[in-house]
């Protein structure tokens, strides 16, 4: 979840919690330059959302997803080469678990990706994985993502999968390495 300090944004945060869903920190502002220019900037952006969600819902978040994922290479354009490792260590020090994904729905390839392409993208990548974490995006423009979900959910249920809200104790998906550090596995 990113930051939305409007009354509607706060309504959405409360609704997520009231309906029993997990809410995770994805930084207040998804901007790569804001998040990855320095550790201080990352922390400021991270904490801004932590405070907003806590003040709005009373929930202390402890799950996180990096904008671009933990092995993104965009950070190289904006900040120090160790920013991803430093941010991971910071998250650990705060008691957070971060999550990556092992299936990309492809819904971010364009503003609107056809529903059938999203369904095919997900189903074709499931394979024999026992634990999956699918990357989807939810925004006003992503109208076909929610349209694709019923078909994907039905397919997964038929395949014996179950669904759970993420917690810091959930089976996590971490990319195998952080960009620029291929020999340093992070777990």
pLDDT digits (tens, 9 = 90+) for 124-183: 999 999 999 999 998 888 999 999 999 999 999 999 999 999 999 999 999 876 555 555
Q: What is the pLDDT of residue 2?
A: 86
pLDDT band (50, 70, 90) for residue 185 = low
Strand partners, 85: none
- pLDDT score recorded for residue 178: 57
How far is residue 1's CA from residue 149's CA, in Å, rounded to a whole number?
Answer: 18
Tokens of 99: 């999550």
pLDDT digits (tens, 9 = 90+) for 5-63: 889 999 999 999 999 999 999 999 988 999 999 999 999 999 999 999 999 999 999 99
| pLDDT value, residue 73 | 84
| Cα 32-166-20 angle, rounded to 5 deg | 110
Query: Coil, strand, or helix at residue 72?
Result: coil
| Whole-number pLDDT of residue 86 | 94
26, 20 Cβ separation under 8 angstroms: no
**113, burial (CB in 10 Å: exposed 0-12, middle 13-18, buried 19+):** buried
Is-contact 88 120, C-beta < 8 A? Answer: no
74 or 144: which leads in pLDDT: 144
Contact 142, 107 (CB under 8 A): yes
Closest CA to 86 of 134, 59, 46: 46
State how far the Cα of 66 lies from the Cα of 83, in Å rounded to an integer. 12
Burial (CB < 10 A; 0-12, 13-18, 19+), residue 45, is buried
Angle at the Cα of 173 from the Cα atoms of 44 and 86, rounded to 5 degrees: 35
Taking alpha carbons only, the member of 88, 39, 38, 90 closest to residue 66 is 88
CATH of domain 1-99: 3.20.20.370
Give the pLDDT confidence of 80-136 residue by residue, as tens digits: 989 999 999 999 999 999 999 999 999 999 989 999 999 999 999 999 999 999 999
Domain ranges of the chain: 1-99, 102-165
pTM here?
0.88
**Distance separating alpha carbons of residues 186 and 184, to the nearest angstrom:** 6
Q: How many other C-beta atoms can be found within 10 angstroms of the C-beta atom of residue 91?
A: 21
- pLDDT, position 181: 54
Greatest Cα pair distance in the chain: 46
């Amino acid at each position: 979840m990113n930051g939305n300090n409007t009354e509607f944004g706060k309504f959405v945060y409360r609704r997520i919690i009231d309906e029993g869903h997990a809410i995770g920190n994805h930084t207040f502002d998804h901007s790569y330059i804001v998040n990855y220019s320095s550790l201080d900037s990352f922390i400021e952006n991270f904490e801004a959302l932590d405070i907003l969600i806590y003040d709005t819902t009373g929930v202390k978040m402890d799950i996180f997803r990096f904008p671009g994922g933990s092995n993104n290479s965009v950070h190289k354009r904006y900040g120090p080469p160790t920013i991803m490792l430093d941010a991971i260590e910071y998250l650990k020090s705060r008691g957070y678990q971060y999550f990556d994904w092992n299936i990309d729905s492809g819904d971010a390839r364009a503003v609107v990706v056809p529903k059938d392409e999203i369904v095919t993208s997900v189903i074709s990548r499931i394979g024999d994985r026992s634990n999956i974490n699918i990357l989807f995006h939810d925004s006003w423009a992503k109208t076909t993502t929610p349209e694709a979900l019923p078909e994907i959910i039905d397919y997964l249920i038929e395949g014996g999968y179950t669904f759970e809200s993420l917690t810091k104790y959930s089976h996590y998906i971490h990319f195998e390495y952080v960009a620029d550090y291929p020999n340093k596995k992070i777990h």
